[in-house]
Structure 1
Amino acid sequence: MKSITMTICIFTNLLILGMFGYFYLILSQYWSYWSKHSQYPVNSKKSVYDKEIFYYNRGYPNETHNSPIIQSISKRTRRQILKNDTVLITDNEHEINCTLKIENYKNKLSMELQRILMKEGDVFNTGVKLNNPYSVQYSGVRENFMKKTSHELICQMKKTVSVSTITRKEFPYNTKENLKYFPKKTMFKNKRFNSCAIIASAGSLLNSNLGSFIDDHDVVLRFNHAPTEGYEKDVGRKTTVRIVNSQVVTKSRFDFLTSDLYTNITILVWDPSNYSASLVDWYHHPEYPFWDNFKQFRMDHPRTKLFLLNPQSLWSIWNFLQSNSLSRLRNNPPSSGFLALAQLINFCKYVDMFEYIPSVRITRKCHYFDLENNPACTFGSWHPLAAEKLIAYAMNIANDYQVFQNGFIRIPGYSETRC
């Protein structure tokens, strides 16, 4: 009798699981079909910025079209953006019309980021499922960030994210030879700032006229080899901090050892480790062989404040992002942009992030300083950028005009957030 009852229970459970699996497969196929067949037609009456977002992530047609958007994109140069590249809202437009346009743009952008996030988390996408180069093993919760307030997200980040730089005491090989390469204190130890600016390298900074506003901040953080000369009107002149990845330190084409971009400022270098690797393991197996140049730079530029990120900081940030996303994230470290936020939020009264959330100036241009067109720069193909941007926007306290028209989000620092 017991065996019959057990058999019936097992059969019933298998039947229920099979039904759920079947329905999930049908929904996945429907989503895939919708994504493939919802392309905007060339002569569609959709607005320019609707098409920009759509094509930006799915790729632009290879053939030549008469569509104004395709023509304007093909004519872009390093220093010139045509008027029909963007959909800036002018001051003399009716306030209601202005608000509606911004709201429409925000909704389209949000939908695109949500679509990417869902696609990355699709368990039937074998490419995502099998791609785990850093041996990520996450076992924490997965909650919906949309159900949390900005205050709740900031407090959670404060409690769970730990960003630190390696000091002499923490370096695994604490020898007399190694001591000279590492500082005694962590980055910004006991420092406090009022306003901090994080400047994305996005092409949408061109024609923004944000330079003066950016320079008014106490701390201005830039990334890698992003220049200011020749772009001051849009990106400002001031540079306080640069976050530099190990590729820039390693590869000769970036001139890390000789370029003036990296002198007389504070530099934070980062290189990813495996999810659970120790400092010793990472020291012997960095992703890029940056150690020689890192040490040489330290000797050549003793007055430049050079710091090295503890690689576990990256996974602390990744855990925070995953804990606030119902979808599975890419098993790759977060971007330098979110790393910058996680670092500065400790020391700044507020942090303004410029063009991290793409404004209505969105273009295909990857960086404001070069000609490369690359959709991954905005929507992501390696970092979990979709989750980063959605959660960063949820932490933002600036109004939508400031975010999508002016081009910055504002996130209060920990000192302003009572948890």
Structure 2
Amino acid sequence: MSHVAHPPPVLRGTGSKPIYTDPQKLPGVIPGDPQKPIPILSSSNYSIESSNKVSNLKGKRREHGLFYWLLAAPLRRAVETIFGRKRKGIMGAASGDEVFFGPHGALGEVWNDEMSSTMLGKRLRKVVQNYQAMNKYGVQYPRAESGAHQSKLSGPELLCQIKKMVQITTLTQDMEPFAGFPWASQLSPRQLISDIGPFKTCAVVSSAGSLKNSGLGKEIDAHDAVIRFNAAPTTGFEKDVGSKTTVRLINSQVMASEDHHFLSNSLYSAGILVSWDPAPHSSDLREWYNKTDYPIFKQYQRYRRLHPQQPFYILHPRMEWQLWQRIQDNMGESIQKNPPSSGLLGTVLMMSLCEAVHVYEFLPSRRKTELCHYYQRFSDAACTLGAYHPLLYEKNLVKRMNQGSDRDIYMYGRVTLPGLKTLNCTHGSTSGMISKT
């Protein structure tokens, strides 16, 4: 009998509500009441290794058998929504995506930094609207409400704005309220950017499905430092993604999910760990400590007891929202009131540690595909265009800041960004906002 991929079990946070899988790993949400979105089939563990446990739903979409009718009614509706026929005009995980990802798709050869929600299909447009309306983190930002924005900055201006207005900070043992806790000594006494680097060249390796069959492994490993994300593996994928891991950035949902085996999986014990968890938009550290999305601090303490020598940092949540504001200020419409993706957070983090940064397949190359991750078989346009995270707008921002060529993006999915310390930013002079050579 076929099995449905349910959201993985997770630990409960500090509140009383049950925790659901990160919506970015549930790219589709059934349109309806924005306060009560319905999570649908999870892809978080639909890996190549475990795919024999999960049926191929694409093959089921044309006929309803026993499998279909054994599903609960909400899941039947979810399946119908995801795998609706093209003639209904619905963009689902397995139908209709050709309009974006085919050789003549709407995404074009190279990402257009003027992409907006009006270019999305009906399903994704509704999902984005739902998340904009939910405002789970209590964002109070006039420009986000009105869609009003300043004139869009140029790439060099954007880079300097990020340098000046995004504080790359990690928690240290002297910060309140942590200084008063018995486990404060498990936190680093120093900032991450003081402890590691600087590096000359760095690679940011996304988990995008378009890395599959890229052959970029040797190029990636040639960098002085490499950052990877969440549960993205290298074993078995070295030819495409390389094997070097200097930093791994993980979200708190991965830390809490039982299926990811965070405390015991050797995947996480290589390199430097950096974790993050969304905080309410205007909260201080004490409020965040009592209102985390997932039990990041409990898991952090457990992991540190098992691996006391491994460097392990926690991002200050202020960075997430400062970066979110840079995105919102430079877009012509309201974006999701949710924090940026791990991919963008990791990119800016490496820009603070490196002289030059190459980001791979954050902007999709000629290999662009609806496949979510190179190590999974789950497909959904939302993994590229965004649902929970404002991915579409993040990509616009990165495209504008790119100092490489469009050919680099098309051929290799490679974006070139300067290290923040290399920037020569002068007040009132756009011409001065350039990277030192």
- Which has the larger displacement, 186-195 or 328-337? 186-195
State the alpha-carbon separation in 1 of the partners of residues 162 and 362 from structure 2: 18
State the alpha-carbon separation in 1 of the partners of residues 331 and 167 from structure 2: 19
Which string of whole-angstrom CA distances, capped at 9 and with x for unpartnered residues, describes residues 168-212 of structure 1?
011413136122220101113163111111111011001100000
From 290, 303, 321, give the equivalent of 1:315.
Answer: 321
State the alpha-carbon separation in 2 of the partners of residues 285 and 392 from structure 1: 31
State the alpha-carbon separation in 2 of the partners of residues 263 and 353 from structure 1: 23
Q: Mark the CA change 1:275 to 1:60 in structure 2 (over 3 Å): closer, same or farther.
A: closer
Q: Mark the CA change 1:344 to 1:415 in structure 2 (over 3 Å): closer, same or farther.
A: same
Q: Which amino acid aligns with 2:110?
A: K
SS in structure 1 at match of 2:424: coil
State the alpha-carbon separation in 2 of the partners of residues 400 and 173 from structure 1: 46
Equivalences for 1:16-415 in 2 at 5 Å?
62-63=84-85, 104-106=108-110, 113=116, 115-116=118-119, 127=130, 130-139=133-142, 142-145=149-152, 148-175=153-180, 177-189=182-194, 191-415=197-421
Q: Any gaps of 5 or more consecutive residues in structure 1?
A: 1-58, 75-84, 88-99
Q: Which amino acid aligns with 2:118?
A: R
* Count, aligned residues: 328
Q: Which amino acid aligns with 1:246?
A: S
Q: Which amino acid aligns with 1:407?
A: G
Q: Any gaps of 5 or more consecutive residues in structure 2?
A: 1-80, 96-100, 426-437
State the alpha-carbon separation in 1 of the partners of residues 416 and 122 from structure 2: 28
Compute the displacement of 1:406 (Å): 1.2
Q: Look up the match of 2:72.
A: none
CA contact (8 A) 1:86 1:360 kept: no
State the alpha-carbon separation in 2 of the partners of residues 289 and 199 from structure 1: 26
CA contact (8 A) 2:110 2:364 kept: no
Compute the displacement of 1:347 (Å): 1.6
CA contact (8 A) 2:385 2:392 kept: yes
Q: Which amino acid aligns with 1:175?
A: G
Q: Which amino acid aligns with 2:165?
A: T
> What is the RMSD computed on CA atoms of the aligned residues?
3.1
Looking at CA atoms only, which structure, 1 or 2, has the larger radius of gyration?
A: 1
Higher helix share: 1
Q: Mark the CA change 1:207 to 1:60 in structure 2 (over 3 Å): closer, same or farther.
A: farther
SS in structure 2 at match of 1:174: helix
Compute the displacement of 1:356 (Å): 0.2
Q: Mark the CA change 1:126 to 1:354 in structure 2 (over 3 Å): closer, same or farther.
A: closer
State the alpha-carbon separation in 1 of the partners of residues 114 and 350 from structure 2: 29
State the alpha-carbon separation in 1 of the partners of residues 129 and 409 from structure 2: 36
CA contact (8 A) 1:211 1:233 kept: yes
Q: Which amino acid aligns with 1:409?
A: V
SS in structure 2 at match of 1:307: strand
CA contact (8 A) 1:202 1:368 kept: yes
Q: Which amino acid aligns with 1:356?
A: F
CA contact (8 A) 2:216 2:239 kept: yes
Compute the displacement of 1:254 (Å): 0.4
SS in structure 2 at match of 1:362: coil
State the alpha-carbon separation in 2 of the partners of residues 167 and 322 from structure 1: 29
State the alpha-carbon separation in 2 of the partners of residues 293 and 156 from structure 1: 34
SS in structure 1 at match of 2:182: helix
Compute the displacement of 1:60 (Å): 8.2
CA contact (8 A) 1:117 1:387 kept: no
Q: Which amino acid aligns with 1:183?
A: S
Q: Which amino acid aligns with 1:367?
A: H
State the alpha-carbon separation in 1 of the partners of residues 181 and 292 from structure 2: 22
Q: Which amino acid aligns with 1:214?
A: I
Q: Mark the CA change 1:346 to 1:240 in structure 2 (over 3 Å): closer, same or farther.
A: same
Q: Mark the CA change 1:245 to 1:340 in structure 2 (over 3 Å): closer, same or farther.
A: same
State the alpha-carbon separation in 2 of the partners of residues 106 and 416 from structure 1: 27
CA contact (8 A) 1:113 1:379 kept: no
CA contact (8 A) 1:197 1:352 kept: yes
CA contact (8 A) 1:117 1:327 kept: no
State the alpha-carbon separation in 2 of the partners of residues 117 and 344 from structure 1: 30
Q: Mark the CA change 1:104 to 1:334 in structure 2 (over 3 Å): closer, same or farther.
A: closer
Q: Which amino acid aligns with 1:361?
A: R
State the alpha-carbon separation in 2 of the partners of residues 356 and 394 from structure 1: 13
